[in-house]
A and B are shown apart, each in its own frame.
Chain A
């Protein structure tokens, strides 16, 4: 794929109007987000900062989820992960003068996000990574760049309509996830699975009564099975997704916040949302207010 260096056009979530023009057998159309890759980006950063190093080397490694449709998902046949999180990654990389195809994507799962940052396995984690005080003890988390909340996915004929209805019911999510802990606190029987897709299968086969996780993910599945599944109850938790970085490089926080703020102002954030999570039919929300970076 040959692109003009200054203007990279990225295909996201199997949407490649412009890729089709390049001779790529395109997917089923849709939106494409365009990111301005900064020229001479290295000049913008002070010597000795992590950003300067990335810009000079032209390389960055970003950890994302590979198994959350809409947020971070990579099918077996895909070259690149798709979803809102990778889009945010592309926006951040572009500000360093790094084109999307030069980003190294690495799958992070809930268990390895902190170790990966601490050991320098990845430079950034953008993986539905809720900001918590405990996590901020060991890694840096800038943001939030997106706020979502936990909801329930049930069969269309289910009589679960409110959060009270889950008491004593079997509700699945990913093993060890915060969502599962939350629903346990509501009196449900938690059923952990390895992946969201296995969990959805359990709901479809009637083996569990409901699935729970962040609403955005549930909407994606409901859209896949509109006749069988529906999302119910108002969000009953607040998950503030942040960008994880190593505590050894505190200067990254302000850069992340500034870059995302700029994307919010110039419409890149909206475009990224519409191309990914927005596909399930939800309105594009207002971007959340971001936390102050800790004093260096």
Chain B
């Protein structure tokens, strides 16, 4: 454990990066996954099929392969996303590595978000959407005002699982230039072979804390949604 405490700065930075990847990829996945879910249940046949194809493609591809594609194949093809490094947000520059990692995580996770959303939407009786349309709501309005608020309760448990999986999946970025928790753990164990177990426990605890925070937040939201019904 000494190695962790004497490098506590690195430890915090590592989990900071893990959380950063989680938050950015998580928000992007929720947005993109929701759009996909709406396309999947929407009235336009070609978009249904396109969204279904997307889900099939990215849900069935190992995350590692998506990372290899984004981080290794794309740069070889000439797309290295270096342009994002010119963008400054609040004094910070986003690195192309962070950006590519977030894209890889989002491409993958959004497929699962879409399916979690869809299962929630399917849990809402069809008559609710019909009643919404019958009073003249557009498809988008009936999704937004009628279906999704009711789907929320059914969506939250599977969505929580998707987000927790995302937290752990950020560790794949360790092998693609991100000094997040797992990469830092490897560096510490490599340099401190005698403290392997302690270092491992310290990083496991870090993950447990993040996952528990997300799980508790989801229980809180679930309770709130339940009261609203």
Contacts and interface: CB of A to CB of B under 8 A. Distances in A.
A touches B (Cβ under 8 A)? yes
Interface of A: 110-111, 113-115, 132, 134-135, 137-139, 170, 172, 175-178, 180-181, 189-194, 198, 201-202, 204-208
B216 interface: no
Contact of B193 (A134, A189, A206): A134
B194 A134 contact: yes
A134 B72 contact: no
Given A192-B174, A192-B183, A208-B177, A202 B192 contact: no
Interface in B88-140: 95-97
B175 A194 contact: yes
Contacts of B196: 114-115
Nearest to B85: A170
22 contacts: A111-B189, A134-B193, A134-B194, A135-B194, A137-B193, A137-B194, A170-B97, A170-B177, A175-B174, A176-B183, A176-B184, A176-B185, A176-B189, A189-B95, A191-B97, A191-B177, A192-B175, A192-B183, A198-B175, A202-B75, A202-B177, A207-B80
B141 interface: no
B46 interface: no
Nearest to A192: B183
Given A175-B186, A177-B190, A180-B187, A193 B176 contact: yes
B177 A201 contact: no
Q: Which of B96, B178, B182, B191 has the most CB of A within 10 A?
A: B191
B76 A201 contact: yes
Nearest to A197: B72
A202 B190 contact: no
Contact of B75 (A113, A138, A207): A207
A204 to B, nearest CB: 8
> Chain B's interface: helix, strand, loop or mixed, by majority?
helix
B177 A192 contact: yes
Please give me the 3 A-B residue pairs with the lowest Cβ-Cβ distance, nearest first.
A176-B186, A191-B177, A194-B175
B30 interface: no
Nearest to B182: A175
Contacts, number: 85
Given A134-B191, A207-B80, A207-B96, A192 B179 contact: yes
B80 A193 contact: no
Given A111-B190, A170-B177, A176-B187, 14 more contacts: A110-B190, A132-B191, A170-B95, A175-B174, A176-B185, A176-B186, A176-B190, A177-B190, A191-B97, A193-B176, A193-B177, A202-B72, A205-B75, A205-B76
Contacts of A207: 71, 75, 80, 82, 96
Interface string B177-210: 1110011111111111111100000000000000
B193 A178 contact: no
How many residues of B sit at the interface, in one of the four size bands? 20 to 34
A135 B179 contact: no
A69 B98 CA distance: 29
A202 to B, nearest CB: 7
B183 A175 contact: yes
Given A137-B193, A192-B175, A208-B177, A111 B186 contact: yes
Given A189-B95, A192-B177, A205-B80, A181 B193 contact: no
Contacts of A111: 186, 189-190
Nearest to B174: A175
A26 to B, nearest CB: 33
B175 A193 contact: yes
B69 to A, nearest CB: 12
Contact of A139 (B71, B179, B193): B193
Nearest to B96: A207
A114 B193 contact: yes
Nearest to B178: A192
B190 A178 contact: yes
Contacts of A110: 186, 190
A194 B195 CA distance: 22
Contacts of A139: 193
Given A138-B194, A206-B75, A190 B186 contact: no
Contacts of B177: 170, 172, 191-193, 202, 208
Nearest to B179: A190
A113 B188 CA distance: 14
B96 A177 contact: no
Contact of A134 (B71, B82, B192): B192
Contacts of B71: 207
A110 B189 CA distance: 9
A227 B71 CA distance: 24
